[in-house]
Amino acid sequence: MAARSKARKRALDILFEAEQRGLPVLELLSERQSLGETPVPEYAAELVRGVASHQPEIDNLISENSVDWTLERMPAVDRNVLRLGSYELLWADDVPDGVAISEAVLLAQDLSTDASPAFVNGLLARIKDLKPTA
């Protein structure tokens, strides 16, 4: 697995854990970085900070473009995969759009339901189409 793919997985772990435990995500990130049990790659930390700083905008985009699924009803893994993918699509200028989407789809494929990869792919493709106006 490539370094950035591992970093995305680690970022997803932190986002998911923070949500499940009801902790501020940046606080959990800081804790994970200081404990050092499982290293947090710099790119993972960058992703977590990016999602945290843009989360209201990201969640709004996901909510507005999801058909028949509210943000709260989505599986937690999917919700956080979509947050990561949306952040990379809209704010990570060094990540090609296709890479951001395919990496998110792979995370969904590995960690979520059978229907999740298609759902993540479709929703991120829609957000990519809105990118010039987002």
Kindly report the backbone phi and psi dihedral angles of residue 68, in degrees, each rounded to the nearest multiple of 5, phi listed first: 65, 15
pTM for this model (two decimals): 0.95
38 conformational bin, left if phi > 0, alpha if psi -120 to 50, beta if neither = beta
Count of the separate structural domains present in the chain: 1
Average pLDDT, the chain: 95
Residue 3, classed as helix, strand or coil, is helix
Domain around 42: 3-130
For residue 23, the domain's CATH number is 1.10.940.10
Q: What is the pLDDT of residues 102-134, one digit of tens each?
A: 999 999 999 999 999 999 999 999 999 998 776
